[in-house]
Every structure is written in C-alpha cells, then in structure tokens.
Amino acid sequence: MSEMNLLQAVNNALDFEMEQDDDVLVFGEDVGGAGGVFRTTAGLQEKFGEKRCFDTPLSEAGIIGAAIGMAVYGLRPVAEIQFLDFIYPAFDQIINEAAKMRYRSGGQFTCPMVIRTPYGGGIRGGHYHSQSGETYFAHTPGLKVVVPSNPADTKGLLLASIRDPDPVLFFEPKRMYRSSKGEVPEGEHVVPLGKAAITRPGEHVTVVTFGAMVEVALKAAKKAAAQGVDVEVVDLRTLVPLDWETVAASVIKTGRLVTLYEAPKTCGFGAEISALVAEKLILHLEAPILRVTGYDTPFPYSLENLYLPTPERVLDAVLEVANY
C-alpha cells in the first residue's frame, strides 16, 4: 500500500495498465510532455514513448472520433478531455457513435474506450471550467458512467473501466485531485463497476451521492451525529450501471432519503434515484425525499461557495427528514 492523492492514483492506474497491455494508449490536449493541465499523465510519454502517450490537436470531436476508430480496431484508447466543459463538441461522436457501436453492429463490434475528464467546481474555475454534466451521459444507453470519490477507488475503477468492453465516461472530481489522500494498493487493484459503497453506516437517514459530494456528505453526517441523527452515506461510484440493490437496502433500513449532487437541480442524477425510490419503495418511506444540489443557473465564479452544496445545507435536509 502507498499513500497517494487522487491525482497520483489516476497516474498510477494509467502507468500500471500501460505496462500490462501494449494496446492501451493515452492521448489528449497537452497530456504528453507537459503531463496534462493537472499533471495526471506526467511521466507517461517519457516512459512509454510518443506512440502510446501523445498530444492531440485542440479538437474534442477529433480526439473522440480517433478513439472510437482505435477501439473498434482492437486497441484500448484512454482519451482525455481537458475539462468536462469542453466535451460538448464531441457530443455527437459519443452519443451517436461510441454509445451505439455494439447495438448497431448486432454485437459484432464493441467500443472499449475510456474518456477521462475532470468535472465539477471547487477550484474557482467559473462557468466554463466547473460544470457537472454526468446526467447527459447517464441518459444514453450504451455508455457507462463512473465517478470516483477517493484515491483507492479511483485506481480500481479506472483499471476496471479500461478493461471494460464498452465505452466508459470517467469523471474525476478535480477539486479533490490534491486534497483527497489515502492508502492505495500497489499493482493489481480492480474495483468492479456497478457496485456502490457504504462509506458510513447509519440507521436514521440515507444520503445517496457520488464524487466530490461524498466528502460533503460525510462532514454533514458527523454534524448530524452530534444532534443524535445517525446518517448512512452511500457512494454510488458508478452511475451506470447503478447498484440499485445497495441503495434500496439502505433506504429500507432508514426509511428516509436525501440525494446529493452538485449539478443543477432539474433532471440531476439524484432525481433518478428519487424517482426509483418513490416507484419501488414508497411504502418504506417515513418522510418525503429531499434533494440537495447546485442551482438551475450557470456555474458562477465569485459565488461558487454559495452554489456548491455544503455540509450545512445537507445537514438541514437530513434534520428535516429525520424530524418529519
């Protein structure tokens, strides 16, 4: 085991898998000699050469289009989009090509590729460097959507994503690149897709969340415990495939649900969780389902701390459903 931050865990996973499999290639804007804008790919070009880790033109559609061709050919491309906010020029390639390759070919072709991209707020990036667009992709059949919340899961989920036969969107919470630290297994360490984690067991209220908001939920749970409310925190880890069984078991146990995400409230992924619970578990609920989210506005610059969910906002929701 080695202590790493989340950024180092990304780098370690890429390094390990490139050593294991010569078909794994890493590319994107400035990922080569510069090591990426956040340094997640530092040292990879020097170690594996320019044919396996290389810079691309400033063309997101070109990056993803090339990755699709490589994947269908039999390679394992890992394409980086510098910020999630920049991914939309490639939206057509992702939604209409990568996601549909298995279906349109009747299973003759798969598209084993990973699109890595930092997402979310917390670094004062303003409205062009802070968005959380995971629901756009979770809405699309054929794509898998992964959002880690800590270094060990980051390595394990990234290895699982690279080895998956279908296209995976891998969202990295950039506010946690250097702030989140923990023990990470050396060498082989795979965390299966589609399996949530109970990061804090509890009896009174379930909080379902993912990515950077897991840390916020845990801080809120600590505050709630001081007031006699025991919060269970469920880290989804993968949005698609969704581990419904873990979510359902937690809600059946507590009878209360708060969903937490930093994207705008309307149609956020927590709304899907809320709908599933309302459809399937309504008789187990002891209180209305609440969402703690960002706001239905562009992501602000100077008001970032007001926009992002805080432990205090989560605590208010937890206490409201606990005292209903």
Task: Reduce the secondary structure of 170-196 to three states and give it as a string.
Answer: EEEEHHHCCCCEEEECCCCCCCCCCCC
For residue 297, count other CB atoms closer than 10 A to its CB: 10
Alpha-carbon dihedral sign for residues 76, 82, 85, 91? negative
How much is the average pLDDT of 56-81?
97
Nearest alpha-carbon partner for 142 in 111, 119, 171 = 111
| Predicted local distance difference test score (pLDDT) of residue 1 | 86
Per DSSP, what are the bridge partners of residue 292? 260
Both tokens assigned to 163: 């080895």
Residue 121, pLDDT score: 95
Question: What is the CATH number that goes with domain 197-322?
Answer: 3.40.50.920
> CATH classification of 2-184, choosing from 3.40.50.1400, 3.40.50.360, 3.40.50.970, 3.30.1280.10?
3.40.50.970
**d(C-alpha 250, C-alpha 243), whole Å:** 12
pLDDT tens digits, one per residue of 126-177: 899 999 999 999 999 999 999 999 999 999 999 999 999 999 999 999 999 9
Cα–Cα dist 53/201, whole Å: 41
**2-184 and 197-322 agree in CATH topology:** yes
- Residue 52: per-residue pLDDT: 98
Strand duo 205-209 + 231-235: pairing: parallel
What region, left, alpha or beta, does residue 106 occupy, with left being phi > 0 and alpha being psi -120 to 50 degrees? left
The DSSP bridge pattern shows strands 181-184 and 144-146 to be unpaired
- Looking only at the bridges linking them, the beta strands covering 144-146 and 238-240 are antiparallel
pLDDT at 113 > cutoff 90: yes
pLDDT value of position 32 = 96
pLDDT value at position 67? 98
Residues 6+ away with beta carbon under 8 Å from 206: 231, 232, 234, 247, 250, 251, 253, 254, 256, 257, 258
Segments making up each domain of the chain, as ranges: 2-184, 197-322
pLDDT at 295: 97
64: CB partners within 8 A, 6+ apart: 79, 81, 90, 93, 94, 98, 115
Span 223-269, pLDDT tens digits: 999 999 999 999 999 999 999 999 999 999 999 999 999 999 999 99
For the residues 39-62, what does the mean pLDDT come to?
97
Q: Where are the alpha helices (DSSP H) in the chain?
A: 6-20, 44-48, 60-73, 91-92, 101-104, 134-138, 151-163, 213-225, 244-254, 269-281, 304-307, 311-322
Query: Considering the entire predicted model, what is its pTM?
Result: 0.97
Residue with tokens 């809120």: 220
Is the separation of the CB atoms in 63 and 90 below 8 Å?
A: yes
Are the C-beta atoms of residues 151 and 5 closer than 8 Å to each other?
yes
SS3 311: helix
Residues classed as catalytic: 129
- For residues 99 and 240, the answer to whether their CB atoms sit within 8 Å is no
Q: Report d(CA 151, CA 5) in Å as an integer.
A: 6
Look-up: residue for tokens 């994503």? 161
User: CB–CB of 71/38 below 8 Å?
Assistant: no
**Mean pLDDT for the chain overall:** 97
